[in-house]
Amino acid sequence: MAEVSVIGAGSWGTALASVLCKNGHHTVLWSHKQSQVDQLYKTRENDKLPGITLPEELEYTASLEEAVRDKDLLVMAVPSTATRETSHKLQGLIPSGQRIITVAKGIEDGSLFTQCEIINDELPDAVVGVLSGPSHAEEVVAGLPTLIVAGAEDRMLALLTQELFMNEFFRVYISPDVKGIELGGSLKNVIALAAGMSDGLGFGDNAKAALITRGVKEITSLAVAMGGKFETVNGLTGIGDLIVTCSSRHSRNRKAGVYIGEGMSVQDAMDKVQMVVEGVYSAKSALALGQKYGVELPIIEQVNAVLFDGASARDAVETLMTRNKKAESELLSWNS
């Protein structure tokens, strides 16, 4: 039995804590709100996952110091916008070499750091990795089959994560390509906003398939330019995560995009979703990374235009459809 803490009691953190607990590990779930801790102990239910009773063995705390004491693994499950603040608070609370796995998806505005890079910046002595893939909390906590990837430069951390999480309904692969995993997980949220806008505008399956396919192209181009691997983006944490986030009713990014496509303001759409819409926070950073590495990102550019420059979703689609004529792939050529 391992000693594990999940830092962040949102829907995803709660679902992962449930998996760990059911796997027989002593698991503590940390929330920054004492009121939420009291509610979890009282009802054994997170209001973000209605109808799901959490394991009796699962423990809860609002004390960060208590949560991280003497743990084999910390699972960082706070929203991506809170990763730096929470990591900073861990300074002095954890030992050198503490193993940490982040499950948030996002690129920090300004620094353009991924989640692992943020944690490493605040906690340089920690051993950090990522757990990512097509995995809605609502399905994981219900025990529906899910496949995911544990990525770490330290192979032992990847193997530990695989060992702790894997069971008959939650299959975990391992990978050394942290950069590819994190970029796939972050950029797909921006593409999912576009897919939602398309749905909100009433466009059909053709448009959705095109956005997903060309979205893969944008994610792959940037990830490879930044040192990620094509094989990673072509797998669960790239194509797999993009498909589920662009198409699922559970997807908060797609849902926000639908509301924006229907004419709602960005803020009103986020308020209606009632959860953190990571793609909104990563969109500017994704575009900045494209400019930094010289990678053309037309879909991500138009998502930014809608989110921050006052463009309508319909205008963004017209801009994409009337771009200059080009070949689908620059790698293919005619023999004559």
Q: Which residues are catalytic?
A: 188
Q: 231-252: string of b/e by CB count within 10 Å (b at 16+)? A: ebbebbbbbbbbbbbbbbeebb
Q: Is the distance from CB of 133 to CB of 236 less than 8 angstroms? A: yes
CB atoms within 10 A of CB 144: 12
Best CA proximity match to 155, nearest among 180, 176, 134: 176
What is the C-alpha separation between 79 and 58, in angstroms, rounded? 21
What is the C-alpha separation between 189 and 280, in angstroms, rounded? 8
Cα four-point dihedral sign 298, 303, 307, 312: positive
With a CB cutoff of 8 Å and minimum separation 6, the contacts of 244 are 134, 135, 136, 251
